[in-house]
Amino acid sequence: MNKPFTVLRLNARTFPIKPDERNILAVTGAEIIEVEHPDECERLAEVDAVLIVSAYLHASTVKRLTRCRIISRIGTGTDKIDVEQASAQGIIVTNVPDFATQEVADHTLALLLSAARKLKYYEASLRAGRRPFDTENIHRLSTQTLGIIGFGHIGQAVAARAHAFGLRIIACDPCLTEATATTQGVTPAKMETVLTESDYLCLLCPLTPATRGILAMPELMKMKRSAVLINTGRGELVNERDLALALKTGVIAYAGLDVFGETNVFSPDGFSCDHPLFGLENVQLTPHVAANSREALDEAQTRAAQAVADVFGNKSPQNMINLKELKKKV
């Protein structure tokens, strides 16, 4: 009798398995090990598949997955997974790249509009019993420029929404073609141009070795003093200490942040709020919730589980991010 498959389901406390996800895995007859972090599992060598949300799978951990056939990311980014080591071991790595495109685009625009209309400031004023009359720093959006760094699915969805407010849109992405730019109604631009011309700058690119820390003080200094930075991509795209200093000293005016590099908002036991960004009034913070909706999270979990079921059924799963690397091994 064949030994049943074993699935390691990480982040089981912060993102518990839902019935539909469990049902998909049940069809394969798999045993499910539910833990938060991989170091809580003593049976890594027996695992046939890993389902992961926000935990880290470093190379040292991946090396212990000697029987694993697939690491399925319940979400988009795979920057916390050592994909190179997984590929070297012949492990398929998949993700769900478009599960929350609409939600993240909505949240990005929400942060932008909140900054544009100074909602945080006005609410604080109201709660203090004051009605500000200063409109010097409020501008009609149709007079403003939106810069987008990273023009994939989410970048294009943000642009579509921004058009409704009359914003001029410039976009920086090495994969952006003239045809796509024309179709999407944006102007292709180099990084330097996006930094210097944007009134609102949105970071929507994936975290890679090339994009890690792309915004630090030298780049922030090139931006307008009145500029607003919106980051719903990855926290590590920005040097957060430099950003905090830039906001404190007026290098840029404001920021709306949903992602963080130095603060683990996914910690099941809570997280410290002593980072310099938390003490600033000219920043709006949300705890990595841009992708949140019942529909999006349900879709992410079921599609990620289906990728595991496909591999167990000797089928090719969708969204194999290391397909080229695996082919080189054949």
pLDDT at position 330: 60
pLDDT at position 137: 86
pLDDT digits (tens, 9 = 90+) for 150-162: 999 999 999 999 9
Q: Round the CA-based radius of gyration of the chain to a whole number and report it.
A: 22
Query: What residue ranges do the domains of the chain occupy?
Result: 6-98+294-329, 101-285
Mean residue pLDDT of the chain comes to 96
Q: How confident is the model at residue 2 (pLDDT cuts 50, 70, 90)?
A: low
CA dist., res. 210 & res. 208, Å (int): 5
Cβ of 259: how many Cβ atoms within 10 Å? 22
Decide which of 1 and 112 is more confident: 112
Confidence check: pLDDT of 329 > 90: no
CA dist., res. 180 & res. 60, Å (int): 41
The whole-number average pLDDT for the span 105-129 is 97
Among 3.40.50.1240, 3.40.50.720, 3.40.1190.20, 3.90.380.10, name the CATH number for the domain at 101-285.
3.40.50.720
Q: How confident is the model at residue 216 (pLDDT cuts 50, 70, 90)?
A: very high
CA dist., res. 158 & res. 185, Å (int): 12
Write down the CATH number for the domain with range 6-98+294-329.
3.40.50.720
pLDDT digits (tens, 9 = 90+) for 222-248: 999 999 999 999 999 999 999 999 999
pLDDT at position 136: 84
pLDDT at position 134: 85
Q: What percent of the chain has pLDDT over 90?
A: 95
Contact 187, 167 (CB under 8 A): no
Q: Edge-to-edge strand order for the sheet containing 200-203?
A: 187-188, 168-172, 145-149, 200-203, 228-231, 254-257, 283-285
Q: HSE (CB half, 13 Å, CA atoms) of 140?
A: 3
Confidence check: pLDDT of 1 > 70: no
Query: Which residues, other chains included, contact 8 with Cβ-Cβ below 8 Å and sequence gap of 6+?
Result: 33, 35, 38, 41, 44, 47, 49, 50, 51
pLDDT digits (tens, 9 = 90+) for 247-291: 999 999 999 999 999 999 999 899 999 999 999 999 999 999 999
Q: What does the block give as tokens for 141?
A: 């959006």
> Can you say whether the dihedral through the CA atoms of 205, 213, 72, 21 is positive or negative?
negative
Q: Do domains 6-98+294-329 and 101-285 have the same CATH topology?
A: yes
